[in-house]
Amino acid sequence: MWEDWLAPDGSQVKSAAIITTQPNELMARLHNRMPVILPPDAYARWLEPEPRQPADLQRLLAPYPAEAMSAYPVSALVNSPANDQPACTAPAG
């Protein structure tokens, strides 16, 4: 979900939303929710332009399988949006 609009002062504003769900076993150690990650076989269904009932898509909003993910410590650089650089996702240490 995203929107691109003009603010009252005429400046362009780009905004986006992240849909979250309950965490899987891996992420539950870090936080009480996680972003929804769609598996590739769900992309077409999610992006289908035809109107659908919310219940039709609700089952896609499930936690991603923990076994398909990995986690590792990163630098404190990640704590500031001013640090938009690859080092934010590099393993710390």
pLDDT digits (tens, 9 = 90+) for 80-89: 999 999 999 9
93: confidence class by pLDDT, cuts 50, 70, 90 = confident
pTM of the entire structure?
A: 0.76
Question: Which pLDDT value is given to residue 2?
Answer: 87
- Calculate the alpha carbon distances from 64 to 17, 38, 51, 77 in Å: 18, 7, 25, 26
Write out pLDDT tens, residues 8-57: 999 999 999 999 999 999 999 999 999 999 999 999 999 999 999 999 89
Q: Could you tell me which residues come within 8 angstroms of residue 17 by beta carbon, excluding any fewer than 6 positions away? A: 1, 2
What's the token pair of residue 40?
A: 């590739």
Question: Which one-letter amino acid corresponds to residue 63?
Answer: P
